[in-house]
Structure 1
């Protein structure tokens, strides 16, 4: 594929919408009661149980399937989730613990751009940091063969760190117009020193990624723009699934061959391998996605079996906890280029054998939905040198947990619940609680059929179906209700949904079908009558936990065991008095070298763990400044996104979303011993 070619572009229609802005379920492409403008197949509605849903919010309401994926096919995560039930949990208080070595600030590459800086990568005396949504890419200076002088602008910001104590801004690699440069990687490949950065649309720009030769880091030579499409020809032709964003990248080599692995925000085949041996003419080699966990024998590149496609779609948009999907988020490839560690969100940590890059083969899946707060959220993973230990981060930005109780009547007790993404947060209500008597209002799609609230504290109980969640919510707001509980329909049972759509000014939650019947005190739908009173309910939001670290024993790579979890005080206990209420205390990215893990942990800063015993990790260092003086020079509280490290040296590179580049030096006898 030449730099001007695209994967499957000739098969697509230019009139179809660009899909790189956000990943969408196939069901969102199917119009109400039929196929809308897409016109994929006649009679496709029958492929989905009960026909294509009449609820336009279906695409925004992601199912949590339990045991079965909702379409009769076994959920492959179920037997995996039964493994590794026992694990240790380690909570470290960091600076107040017995620290045996520490971190010191060596130098700053100041970039005071609020929420503006993303990943960091360093090589051969230069450090490179990416840019988030604002400012969005302009394309100014692209292809000039020179860095542009625009420290606070979009693109890849470059610092000379040959003297780590005095980083010097030398310019920026221009961005693509309308896209952001989230990830950047630089590596010495067979063809030279190559830089790659991802493209994700922030203003209608393209997806894919860019390749540059940076043998002279001050004069980047553009080599190729690579468009990344859905791996499925059927999806490209019939749904226009082309030109998706790329979130993360990883270089690797096998002998004389150079490759790059891309995390593509497509429906199928999120993990894509490109041969970049000739970097001006990258070629797609293969693709793999979590859909192959559900149906391993399906050739997803060529299948036209729409029943299988719909079943896989439902599986990919389901998962555990609040953020429910099974799409790839990040990838790391072993140093010998033979194993790929895929952080596949709610599909878990997937290990692929890529000895033959054209034919990735599944080795194992590491997953334990009972770990932490029940959010799998496999965000990034990194192996040690021999692959016997793999460290995985779980990113979770929601530290709150919900409880739902029926508080009166014969069915009093606790029930599963999920909060709407479009409703007012329960946590923001007085005492973090929504409670009151209930009234059944039916589907609530027609305002005229919604009975007025008997009192201002009444909560509407609504059945799922026919119209959007936002429409239901607005109709019960107009009828005077204080909150809403939507329960699933009989066909979809007790699967939970994160309600999506347009924001509405009411608190609301979603419960299973049986819970709705329990509230209303009936055995089945035949007992439902609009206007009937139900039991009182209470929904309470309290602190849960942020995302933490999981450490896996891969002594047997085909059957990994969860050795331990690691938390900071604030990730495990967000309401601890030591935690800044403005902070984000989820773990983010990791690098492993020898027996040490180097971590960017947002508002907890930069941490180092000793995992020589993976069952008992020990925090040995942390860089976590605070206070007014630090906030002034950093442009805000600490918010560390990226982490990188020079091998066999004490230098660590961290990117702060507010403050730019930090160069840290690892101190102590342990680092001296390893750096001899």
Structure 2
């Protein structure tokens, strides 16, 4: 079940949070689920050239981005070398990577969606470009060898994969997120023999709250990320569950064939820590918590959990809780997670919190956090005429032409209401070339609406939400259409058209004039926190690359995505997957002054041909105490890199 469906069931369509964002990577939402691909639709914002930097961006950088990468950016970097490829040319298809005991495992995104073929057979299937978990033998890192795939569940994707040596053996877990009506939860396998994975259990993940389960059917939610940990003789797995309440859930897998739910915790406890959120039946209170969870900072406003990391002794869980910030829980008693601290500084950077992932150093004194932000531009939307002239919330479409690339970075003009715009024959022709079509959400895909208004001669479009879903905003996804466009709430649409309700709408009626402007701002970056007093974390520094700090820098490929993604911390080094910036190593021996020391960032037509597209690094993993780094490229599959140089040699010879 999606959170959009939850909002409909709960009857809270008036919220302003961007629906469908916190549970997975913030992404596009379409009215046709077959067109849903979060990262592809985001990339649609950047398929064209970028403008020169604006003064607000320069001022922002001077104030907040004092740490900008000065490290190497050449195609070949001396101290980080590509040594092996596990080629998987599947555009936008590969997700996370994890390596253990001579094997590397990579997940699969929405396309191809899981078929279930061979699931639970105890054998790998030969289907490199298919769904599921692709397995590579990397005993010789210079020559990764594809050995087969662990089949996915029918109708679900396998975004995250983790493998660990537990008390019961070598255990693999992968997440399930529905991409075609399949189940959520996660799967557990014994991979003592990686070539013969033995399916142990399917774990269904439900909402923590019994009232929501029993009365609204809040069951079988997707899982986005997982983390193994052990306490003595007991094995556990922590899961990011895409539920309404209790996103952080712990399961005892000491007997991995019989997992047992232990506890849950969610950001609703930040809203009110005195409530037993697992047992409350106070529906009004649940609605208040829902409103809190769907409010936050910047454009992607929600406070749902995105990722988790547990420290090595299994007593601390670091929760990247999106706009609730970085949450530290004491899980010494897994049945009773307790809040230690909340690290959040909404005023820094571009005003987005977007806590995506966090990773501590060995003693937990330093924690590195990533902010994933796919929208490097600031959008302002105004009704410029009539009694309701004012500024209103809006979200730019991911399928539409970037407003920032229009003359003056502006889409403006008089408006005409064109209905649902699903049938080209019902769309009235544009009264003049500068008219903007106002469209009601529903029935057909956003891309279909967009193409119909292009064909009718409009200069752009404003889609407003339907009455049931109220003022919730979405980032319109689907197939790219060459027209600017944005999405506004239901009440905003009615104000544009000067009516009191949807019943008063008339196709072809003139509305008020509107204006939407976009200015370059920033992609997501890295934040470095001092946790020497874990109850009072202190933000020490931020780290940007040139392209994350300045989306208009001429060195940045306009097709690229320059937000940071995932990290691994070992000693004083942070190993980073940074989408189109590639793989970075950042030295945090002075955490107030992080320094980039290595980068793998190839480009050019030859690389794109062998990679199946532009560089787009999603996952990162590191063999502890060794020079091998594993990266997953969304387009190209598995990359094995080797850290070189005297510094890495010294680190790799530890006892």
1:555 and 2:535 aligned: no
Question: Residues 480 and 110 (structure 1 numbering): CA distance in 2 closer, same or farther, change over 3 Å?
Answer: closer
The 8 Å contact of residues 61 and 500 in structure 1, kept in 2 or not, is answered as: no
Q: Determine which of 20, 24, 29 is the counterpart of 2:4.
A: 24
C-alpha deviation, 1:204, in angstroms: 1.3
Residues 636 and 124 (structure 1), Cα distance of their counterparts in 2 relative to 1, 3 Å cut: same
> When the two structures are aligned, how many residues end up with a matched partner?
595
CA shift, 1:543, in A, is: 2.5
CA–CA distance in structure 1, aligned partners of residues 91 and 636 of structure 2: 8
Show CA shifts across 1:24-53 (max 9, x none): 3643125xxxxxxxxxxxxxx8xx7xxx86
Are the structure 2 counterparts of residues 426 and 123 from structure 1 closer, same or farther at C-alpha, using a change threshold of 3 Å?
closer
1-side partners of 2:429 and 2:341: how far apart?
Answer: 55
Q: Which residue of 2 aligns with 1:256?
A: 233
**Does structure 1 residue 589 correspond to structure 2 residue 566?**
yes
- How far apart, CA to CA, are the structure 1 residues paired with 2:21 and 2:171? 39
Matched, 1:291 2:271: no
CA distance in 2, matches of 1:499, 1:171: 36
- 2:315 corresponds in structure 1 to 338
SS of corresponding position for 1:674: helix
Give, in angstroms, the shift of residue 243 of structure 1: 0.7
**TM-score (normalised: structure 1):** 0.77
* Gap change, CA 1:416 and 1:569, over 3 Å in 2: farther
How far is 1:249 from its partner?
A: 0.4
Shift of 1:558: 1.1
Cα distance in 2 for residues equivalent to 1:229 and 1:650: 40
* Structure 1 residue 506 displacement after superposition: 7.2
SS in structure 2 opposite 1:630?
A: helix
Hey, what does 2:626 align to over in structure 1?
Answer: 649
Question: 1:498 deviation in Å?
Answer: 4.8
Equivalent residue number for residue 78 of structure 1: none
Question: Hey, what's the Cα distance between the residues in 2 that align with 1:262 and 1:421?
Answer: 31
Give 5+ residue unaligned stretches, structure 1. Answer: 1-18, 31-44, 64-85, 446-450, 522-529
Question: Over residues 234-260 of structure 1, what are the superposed CA-to-partner deviations in whole Å (9 max), with x where a residue is unaligned?
Answer: 111111111111111000001111000
Give the secondary-structure state (helix, strand or coil) at the position aligned to 1:355: coil
Give the corresponding residue for 2:32: none
Change (3 A) 1:62 1:513: farther
Residue 419 (structure 1) aligned with residue 395 (structure 2): yes
1:377 paired to 2:354: yes
Corresponding residue of 1:313:
290
Q: How much has 1:94 moved relative to structure 2?
A: 3.4
- Distance in 1 (CA, whole Å) between partners of 2:559 and 2:265 is 39
CA 1:454/1:109 → structure 2, altered by over 3 Å: closer, same or farther? closer
Q: Secondary structure at the match of 1:671?
A: helix
Match of 1:210 in 2: 187
1:452 Cα deviation after fit: 12
In the other structure, the counterpart of 1:507 is 485
Query: Are 2:394 and 2:486, in contact at CA under 8 Å, matched by a contact in 1?
Result: no
Question: What SS class does the counterpart of residue 633 from structure 1 fall into?
Answer: helix
Alpha carbons of structure 1 residues 657 and 486: separation in structure 2 relative to 1, 3 Å = closer
- Secondary structure in 2 matching 1:235: helix
Provide the C-alpha distance between the structure 2 equivalents of 1:354 and 1:548, rounded to a whole number of angstroms.
28
* Alpha-carbon distance between aligned partners in 2 of 1:136 and 1:461, rounded to the nearest angstrom: 34
Shift of residue 113 of structure 1? 1.5
| 8 Å CA contact retained: 1:186, 1:193 | yes
Is the Cα–Cα contact under 8 Å of residues 322 and 356 in structure 2 kept in the other structure?
Answer: yes
CA contact (8 A) 1:482 1:507 kept: no
SS of the residue corresponding to residue 90 of structure 1 reads coil
- 2:476–2:487 Cα contact (<8 Å) kept: no
Per-residue deviation at 1:89?
2.9
Residue 270 of structure 1 and its aligned partner are, at CA, apart by 0.7
CA distance change for structure 1 residues 547 and 215 in 2, over 3 Å: closer, same or farther? same
* SS at 1:574 equivalent: coil
CA contact (8 A) 2:3 2:19 kept: no
Task: Quote the residue 1:75 is aligned against.
Answer: none
Per the normalisation by structure 2, the TM-score is: 0.80
Q: Contact 1:460 / 1:485 at 8 angstroms: preserved in 2?
A: yes
Q: Cα offset for 1:310?
A: 0.7
Q: 1:568 aligns with which of 545, 570, 574?
A: 545
**What secondary structure, in the 3-state scheme, does the structure 2 residue paired with 1:91 have?**
coil
Deviates more, 1:248-257 or 1:140-149: 140-149
In our comparison, the structure showing a higher alpha carbon Rg is 1
Task: Report how far residue 313 of structure 1 moved.
Answer: 1.2
Question: Matched residues in 2 for 1:58 and 1:575: separation?
Answer: 28
Q: Show the counterpart of 1:624.
A: 601
**Equivalents in 1 of 2:392, 2:243: separation in Å?**
31
Question: Which whole-Å CA distance do the structure 2 matches of 1:477 and 1:117 have between them?
Answer: 33
Q: How far does the alpha carbon of each residue in 1:332-358 deviate from its partner, in whole angstroms, 9 at most, with x for none? A: 001110010001111111111111100
CA shift digits 1:317-337 (9 cap, x unpaired): 222222221111110001110
Is contact 1:87–1:563 with CA below 8 Å preserved after alignment? no
Select 2:520's aligned residue among 543, 547, 552.
543
Mapped partners of 1:312, 1:478: distance in 2? 44
Instruction: Specify whether residues 561 and 163 from structure 1 end up closer, same or farther in structure 2 by C-alpha distance, changes over 3 A only.
Output: same
Change in Cα spacing, 1:169 to 1:532, as seen in structure 2 (3 Å) is closer
Paired residue for 1:8? none
Q: How does 1:354-393 map to 2 (within 5 A)?
A: 354-393=331-370
Q: Superposed, which structure 2 residues align to 1:16-415 within 5 Å?
A: 19=1, 22-24=2-4, 26-29=6-9, 60=19, 89-96=66-73, 102-404=79-381, 415=391
Contact kept, 8 Å, 1:438 with 1:458, in 2: the verdict is yes
- Give, in whole Å, the separation in 1 of the partners of 2:18 and 2:66: 36
Q: CA contact under 8 A between 1:28 and 1:58: conserved in structure 2? A: no
Indicate how the Cα distance of structure 1 residues 307 and 630 shifts in structure 2: closer, same or farther if over 3 A, else same. same
* 8 Å Cα contact 2:186-2:204 kept in structure 1: yes
Q: Is the 8 A contact 1:26 1:313 kept in 2?
A: no
Q: Give 1:477 deviation, angstroms.
A: 11
Measured in 2, the distance between the counterparts of 1:353 and 1:230 equals 21
Query: 1:465-499 CA distances to partner (integer Å, 9 max, x unpaired)?
Result: 9x9999xx9999999986677999xxxx9x99558
In the alignment, the residues of structure 2 paired with residue 155 and residue 229 of structure 1 have an alpha-carbon distance, to the nearest angstrom, of 23
Query: How far apart, CA to CA, are the structure 1 residues paired with 2:528 and 2:291?
Result: 30
**Once the 2 structures are TM-superposed, how far is the Cα of residue 403 of structure 1 from its aligned partner?**
3.5
Match of 2:60 in 1: none
CA offset digits 1:278-319 (Å, max 9, x no partner): 111100000111111111111111111000111111111222
